Structure 1
Amino acid sequence: MSGPGAAPPGYYPDPDGAPGMVRWWDGGGWSDVLTPAGPGVSTGRGETAHRPAPSPWQPAVPVRGHGRTPWVVGAVVTAVVVLVVAVVVGTTGRGTSNPSPTVVAVPTGPTFAPGTVQIVDEDAGIAYPYLGDGWYQYALGAPLETTSVQGQYFITQDTVPDGGEFIAQITSGPVAEGYGWSGAGSEQATIETLAESVRANYYPGPNEREVLRDEATTVDGAPAWVYEFVLSWDTAGYDATGERAALVVIDTGRAAPALLYLSIPNTHAELYGVIDRVIGAVDVL
């Protein structure tokens, strides 16, 4: 379609014609990120950002100041070279009702092989959906919390005050030692430790956390624990004022459980629905 014109913000079939894909319309322009149609991203409706009021909080383990880096501290610019180019929305058929073109920053990065539908993490023992155009293969170093990493991401802000980048990501890996794992039944203790590490190491502070889910579950029949939360902050230099994220620890029967980490900054709140969608589609290998 050439553009929904006066249509309200929401997901609509991709104006470039990608089969089964939808793109977010904010009322004046198209998002640069595609996502598959399905639960949480039904066409014609959107997600509302939830931003709790910030309150003082100091991270227990300050790392590189208080900025969030893409998961691993200090590995940002050496592992992947990201070129940022200005792209005019509408040059590929995405029309808007605004005669002035909207300019967005679109990062380039390592892409998945044609035909990829799942990201298979052999080390962690899980697989989950690849979300398509606009998501790049995560090729940075392993974070503190896992011994290796697989996944997908895209950059939402090129430079933040600590010198790194801010990203949306869905990544996985085997949980590293020292985070509370002692075998079956220790999923909750492990995820509590991981949640504190993630909050201290990868987000600006002070920040406030609102827990949305903290409960036992099963993932593809395997025991698991899901911890979903919203962080909010008021820190100069960040485009986002918060983020919705989830950690899922899955007992795959291996020596170390799998950790699935999903995070969407509120600058891209229209993608919040992919969190539940991905969690619900995880396969245990």
Structure 2
Amino acid sequence: MSTPGWYPDPSGAPGQYRYWDGRAWSQQTTDQPGGPPTGGDRTGRRRGLPMIIGALALVVVLGLIIFFAVRQSGAGRPITNDPVPSSTVSGWDDSSPTATPTPTPSRTPSPSSSGTPETTIACPTGNPRERGPRPPDGRVHGGGLSFPRIDGWVDDMQTSGVSWGYDVESQGFSVYPGWAAFLGVGEIRAADGFKPTPKAAAEKVMQCVASSGWYATEQSTKDLKAEKTTIDGHQAWWIRTDIHVTDRKVPGDTVDVIVVDTGRPDAYGLFIGAVAIGDAGLQTLRDNTVRDLTVD
């Protein structure tokens, strides 16, 4: 058989064919004779090749899945070498028992005469224009207190500035355009935090005055007086403080706050006087007003 081709297996294996190349029989047999073998186990290679291709395809698919999963998990977050914060920093100092806000830059707290630094506080909102009945006696009335009206002074000048009070009536005098003296009486209420004593209430009122719009350029304060007194036989607390300002024709005001226990359990009577530091005439008028202050 010199003609190459597939022939029934000479060993007699049923259904098997062996290739004759013209000189010798092949080592391989098959049940589907076709073209000549090219060496090696052709049928075994054909069976193994699909498995290899499938395995490679599976590796590629798994690689793509992992790649896109990693990209998706990092979407929207920039990659940096910065350390991850271990805690959240609060804008408040929680290390102290009572957290207080930092004073605004326009208010530079300075030591008072007692050596205690002034602090900015949150003042309540009252209604200074809420008025009770007034006797027609020519006096300035408010909060159960009254003082004689001063000729030449303007009624209710800057009354709205006592924004934490009620039933406020006042008189004012223009020292120069943009700066005025002030004398007023009114009421402060325990429900707004002015408690539990006239002393505590007076201290809070003075802080509210110093941090108000009246003294937007406050530079420093100096306590001149803080003492127990009586007004028309009623227990009271009197604070006098110099509030110094900048960018004004006057150095600031000497402010008097007198809180009077008028007998009401829910409120105190209040007197506020603010006159220019060093103005002897205005200070005399203020002193006379305090001397003539009465409980209605």
TM-score by length of structure 2 reads 0.51
After superposing on structure 2, the runs of 4+ consecutive aligned residues of structure 1 that deviate more than 6 Å are none
* Distance in structure 2 (CA, Å) of the matches to 1:275 and 1:136: 15
**Aligned residue in 2 for 1:249:** 259
* Superposition RMSD in Å: 3.1
* Distance in structure 1 (CA, Å) of the matches to 2:207 and 2:108: 16
Asked whether the equivalents of residues 119 and 127 of structure 1 are also in contact (C-alpha less than 8 Å), the reply is yes
Unaligned runs of 5+ in 2: 1-106, 111-118, 130-135
Q: How far apart are residue 131 of structure 1 and its match?
A: 1.8
Q: How far apart are residue 204 of structure 1 and its match?
A: 3.2
Query: Which of the residues 93, 102, 109 maps onto 1:57?
Result: 109
* Distance in structure 1 (CA, Å) of the matches to 2:169 and 2:278: 24
The structure with more helix, counted as a fraction of residues: 2
Q: Secondary structure at the match of 1:180?
A: coil
Distance 1:137 1:264, change over 3 A: same
**Aligned residue in 2 for 1:147:** 166
Query: Which of the residues 191, 212, 218 maps onto 2:224?
Result: 212
The alignment-based identity, stated in percent, is 20
Q: How far apart are residue 257 of structure 1 and its match?
A: 0.5
Query: Which of the residues 193, 210, 213 maps onto 2:204?
Result: 193
* Distance in structure 2 (CA, Å) of the matches to 1:197 and 1:283: 24
* Distance in structure 1 (CA, Å) of the matches to 2:225 and 2:278: 22
* Distance in structure 2 (CA, Å) of the matches to 1:193 and 1:256: 14
Asked whether the equivalents of residues 276 and 282 of structure 2 are also in contact (C-alpha less than 8 Å), the reply is no
* Distance in structure 2 (CA, Å) of the matches to 1:145 and 1:270: 29
* Distance in structure 2 (CA, Å) of the matches to 1:213 and 1:61: 21
TM-score by length of structure 1 reads 0.53
* Distance in structure 2 (CA, Å) of the matches to 1:142 and 1:200: 11
- Structure number with the bigger relative contact order (C-alpha 8 A, sep ≥ 6) is 1
Unaligned runs of 5+ in 1: 1-54, 64-71, 80-114, 159-164
Greater Cα shift, 145-154 or 222-231: 145-154
Query: Which of the residues 132, 135, 139 maps onto 1:118?
Result: 139
Q: How far apart are residue 129 of structure 1 and its match?
A: 1.6
**Aligned residue in 2 for 1:32:** none
Q: How far apart are residue 252 of structure 1 and its match?
A: 0.6
Asked whether the equivalents of residues 219 and 250 of structure 1 are also in contact (C-alpha less than 8 Å), the reply is yes
**Aligned residue in 2 for 1:230:** 242
Query: Which of the residues 225, 228, 233 maps onto 1:221?
Result: 233
> Aligned pair 1:156/2:166, yes or no?
no
Q: Given residue 286 of structure 2, which amino acid in structure 1 is its aligned partner?
A: I
**Aligned residue in 2 for 1:178:** 192
Q: How far apart are residue 56 of structure 1 and its match?
A: 4.5
- Deviations along 1:105-136, whole A, 9 cap, x unmatched? xxxxxxxxxx9652233xx111112121x201
